[in-house]
A and B are shown apart, each in its own frame.
Chain A
């Protein structure tokens, strides 16, 4: 059974701080990794994809991948109250399927 683990949180950070979200996965053969943001009562929204070891930056978001350690992280710089949401880590689980973690709830306090 392929698994994706995330700290459930809640993670609380002050406005302007860096929020760090972590994810580990069990399938060493996974090649594609994703971060989704889900606001309360809404559907998941894709915010980052990463396929190679290292960092990938998009605005205030940085995804980090370490395949040897089977670890993916998402950093949110200059966190804003509008970043308050649940963040889902997803890993390619074979063929065209994704395996999702249960999500980490982030609260950014003004």
Chain B
């Protein structure tokens, strides 16, 4: 049982390049989330998905797209990376509707130059 996994762990992009961050969970959770964490800003929600086939914007969705491929996988795409998207990205999944406990993946550290 790997929990929540993310790939890649590190990535360096040039401005304007695109990439997809991958997230998968093996806990049969319905809801999944993408956050970014920046110094002094805390964790901010980018997008979330309450179930397969549904996605909703969070606090900071601009510049990102998401895809809930199936119940296990939730990907985050940067179409045209900008230096302001330099951050650590975390994927999380929800342990159950009655608890609202979220469990995090190990993160992807992205640098855009």
* 0/1 string, B35-71, CB within 8 A of A gives 1: 0000011110100101000000010000000000000
Does A34 sit at the interface, judged by CB under 8 A?
Answer: yes
Kindly count the residue-residue contacts between A and B in the assembled complex, taking CB atoms under 8 Å apart: 45
Interface size on A, residues (CB 8 A): 19
Does A43 sit at the interface, judged by CB under 8 A?
Answer: yes
Q: How many angstroms from the CA of A100 to the CA of B37 in the assembled complex?
A: 11
- Contact residue among A44, A96, A102 (Cβ-Cβ distance under 8 Å from B90): A44
Across-interface contacts of B50 in A (CB, < 8 A): 95-96
Q: How many angstroms from the CA of A32 to the CA of B99 in the assembled complex?
A: 7
Most buried by A among B33, B101, B105: B101
Whether A43 contacts B40 in the complex (CB less than 8 A), given A32-B99, A97-B48, A97-B58, comes out as no
Size class of the B contact interface (CB-based, 8 Å):
20 to 34
Q: How many angstroms from the CA of A34 to the CA of B100 in the assembled complex?
A: 9
Q: How many angstroms from the CA of A61 to the CA of B77 in the assembled complex?
A: 38
Structural contact, B104 and A100, CB atoms closer than 8 A = no
Whether A44 contacts B100 in the complex (CB less than 8 A), given A88-B43, A97-B58, A103-B42, comes out as no
Does A49 sit at the interface, judged by CB under 8 A?
Answer: yes
Structural contact, A92 and B105, CB atoms closer than 8 A = no
Q: Give B contacts to A, CB under 8 Å.
A: 31, 33, 40-43, 45, 48, 50, 58, 90, 94, 97, 99-107
Q: Give A contacts to B, CB under 8 Å.
A: 32, 34, 42-46, 49, 88, 90, 92, 95-98, 100-103
